[in-house]
Amino acid sequence: MHKNTPQQGKRNVGQQTVQLARQYVSPQSASHHKLEKDEYLNPFFMTPRTLTTLGLLVLFLNALSYDWIGKIQERTAHLYEDPDNEDVFRDYRWPVFFGFFAVVVFASAQFPDTAMKRPHPLFWRMLLGAEICYACFMTFIFLLPRDKARYAFKIFHPALGNDLPER
């Protein structure tokens, strides 16, 4: 039988190339990214600025660690006043918040774009970072005993974390 004539049950598809899965970009993905760049008029927001973002985050957290947290605690102390409950998490509240902030900023710089592109891919990356922080916090709470889990909520406000009337 000749080399180019198809055999029974087989078809001739010509020469094909093999692409590794990591190198292959589907046409839908390629067109999605091209459309995305064409849809946004300002190219500033579509250019990756990973090193700039992470460098600014490190500078911000460094400046924050010197004296800004003390000033933030003084300015927001009235929000957490409760005469019946002592504020046991006064020194931990803002560092935990800014740890959450650092994860969200890191997510905005490093996480991949999702299928959603409105209002902006950066919004969805930040939302994914916030969801990861929330999932970690909820896992932490679920694994604690009930009384200690209630106590952990005092980080949000001193009035929280008190025993609830049991049914």
Name which residue leads in pLDDT, 11 or 74.
74
Indicate the burial class of 125 (C-beta count within 10 angstroms; 0-12, 13-18, 19 or more): buried
**pLDDT value at residue 35:** 43
Question: Best-predicted range by mean pLDDT among 13-17, 40-44, 49-53?
Answer: 49-53
Rounded mean pLDDT, 55-80: 81
Size of the chain, expressed as the number of residues it contains? 167
Least confident of 88-97, 120-129, 132-141: 88-97
Q: What percent of the chain has pLDDT over 90?
A: 10
- Residues with Cβ within 8 Å of 154's Cβ and at least 6 positions away in sequence, in order, are 85, 87, 88, 89, 160, 161
Dump the DSSP string for 19-87: --TTT---HHHHHHHHHHHHH-S-GGGGS--HHHHHHHHHHHHHHIIIIIHHHHHHHHGGGG--TTS--
Quick one: pLDDT band at residue 36, thresholds 50, 70, 90?
A: very low
Residue 99 corresponds to which tokens in the numbers above? 């740890």
pLDDT at 119 over 60: yes
Q: Looking at this protein, which amino acid is placed at residue 112? A: P
